Structure formats: structure tokens, C-alpha cells
Amino acid sequence: MKELLKNLVEIPAPSGYESQVRNQIREWIEPLVDEIRVDQLGNLLAVRKQAAAPRLMLVAHMDEIGLMVTHVDQQGFARFVPLGGVMPIHCVGGRVRFLNGVQGVIGVEKNPSSYEIPPIEKMFLDVGASSVDDCPIKIGDVAVFERPFLDLGKRVVSKAMDDRVGVAVLIETLRQLKKSAFELYFVFSVQEEVGVRGATVAAFGVEPDLGIAVDVTATGDTPKGHRMEVRLGRGPAIKIRDAGMLADPRLVQWMVQTAEKAKIPYQREILEFGGTDARAIQLSRSGVPAGVISIPCRYVHAPSEMVDMEDVENAVKLLLRLLQTHPRLERED
């Protein structure tokens, strides 16, 4: 899966501009499904049909965080706003690539003190121009962070692991899947980073009986890092709660029991901040039972995000097992 992941993360696709990565995913998976289409917002929906079976929506978002130009001054420097959760601490000195191939560096108005993190309003993009007339970018142009894929053996690093690693898990699941207890809708969603917009309309259209998102989650295994139990290399995480949703306890139990029966390593996840496309599924129409399989990821929303390939591979194993059985969805009154 490492080569698949490398190909995915190196495609630039900020929120709202996912066409390049969508086209590549479609080329790979079209021979593996019974039906494939793109909806009006840009989500890619691929269907594995199964007569008289419950409808399960699996979703991973294609978009990544990025930047959008808002102003170019007379010297050719550009101001910008973030697309998604771009954190100022990761910006100054960072390199970016625009969709038209133009590259640049993020500068700041003056060198801050060692204790100060300048806000994005004090930053600018330098693409090597000397005036507004020879500046190769214009208002509304979008860029992503420029970072090559780094292979550290068992662990790999790149921009856009959030959530191309989830996309890779769904693609590999499709490749290996032989039978299922569900009619499956594999949804590669757009605009998650700016408010789970793609999954919102996709869930409304699919009308699933239940849903699973595959996305990254933070870890608590770095020096004096955020206090949480998830660690790299200890298996995919089964979400219980994040800032956007409470995972359906029946699906949590289903995932835990399936992992334990198959002897697949897993972790229990509570994330105090952030959310996933599962929130949109859960709140669609009259409500849908939803859960999340999370890939532990260090440095989420930094230009260099790290995942462990064993966690990725075990996420595929868990998903394949889940697709063979139905969860118990009876309510206890």
C-alpha cells in the first residue's frame, strides 16, 4: 500500500478543487465496482450492489488543507486565507505549490520573537515576482503545502495524509473485497476540511442504513504531547467520541468484537477536538447509525504528517472483516 499512498498524497487537491485526485481514484477503482458516478458537489460515489442487503456508506475525504490568494500588492507579494485548519505555527518558511504549478514560500512581515507565533494576517506568499504585473498568481488561486513523500521504513511522512490514507484504505479494501453482507457505497468526499460539506450531500443522496468514516486521528505519544491514549503502531483506532459526534455505541461494540475475534490490534479513541464525515452521515435525514475507523497520525494538519503502515494495513483487515457481518442494531429501552 505504500506506493498507493505515495501516489495519492503527492496529488494537489485542496478543498473545493479535488478534480485531479478524483480522476485518479476513479481510474483505479472503476473496474472494481458495479456503478460509479460524480455528484453535483464533486463527491465520487462507487457502488458494490447486493440485492436485499442493508446499505452501508463508507467515506474518506479527498481534500486537503490549503491556501487561497486574496490580494497581490504592487511588489508581487500575495496575501492569503486558509482553506481548512491551517495552523500559523506550521506556515512561516513553508513552501507551497499552486494548481497551475507555480511554487512559492510563505514569509512574514517581520521576524517574530522566539515566543511569538505570528497570525496568518501578517504572512504573505513570495513566488519570486517583482511586481503585480509579473506575478504568476491572481486572486482566488489556491495552493497546497509542498512536501515530498518520506519513507522511514515502517512509518511514512507527507502532507495530505489527512485523509489520503483513508482513501488508500478504501481503495485497498475494494481491491481485496470478495463478498459482503451489505450493499456498499464507497464515497470519496469533497470539502471535509471546510465543514464536512461533501459527506453531507452524499449521505442525503445515498440514504444509508449505517455509515463508517475512515479518517486520521491525533496521537498522544510524542514528548509532552496532547494527552490521549492513541499511539502510532498499536492498530487502528475505534472512535467513541470527538468534538462533532458520539459514535453509535452499537457500532463501537461491533467494531471492537470484530477486531478481538479476528485478533486485529485496535485502540479506543476519544478525540477532544476535530471531527469527521461521520457527523454528516449521523445527522442525515432522520438519522443514521455511524462510526469511525481512525488511522493514528502524528502532526495532523502540519505539512509533514506521519502514519504507521501496520496501522494502515490493519485498518484494511478490520474493514474487510466488518463488511462480512451485520451489527446488532436493536435499541435497549
Catalytic residues: 192
Beta bridge partners of 143: 67, 98
Rounded Cα gap, residues 173 and 313, in angstroms: 10
H or E element, residue 251: helix 249-262
CA distance 129 to 133: 9
What would the grid cell of residue 294 be? 481512525
Query: Which amino acid is it at 58?
Result: L
Residue 216 class from Cβ within 10 Å (0-12 exposed, 13-18 middle, 19+ buried)?
Answer: buried
Q: Which residues contact 11 (CB under 8 A, 6 or more apart)?
A: 20, 21, 24
d(CA 321, CA 86): 35
148's grid cell:
515530498
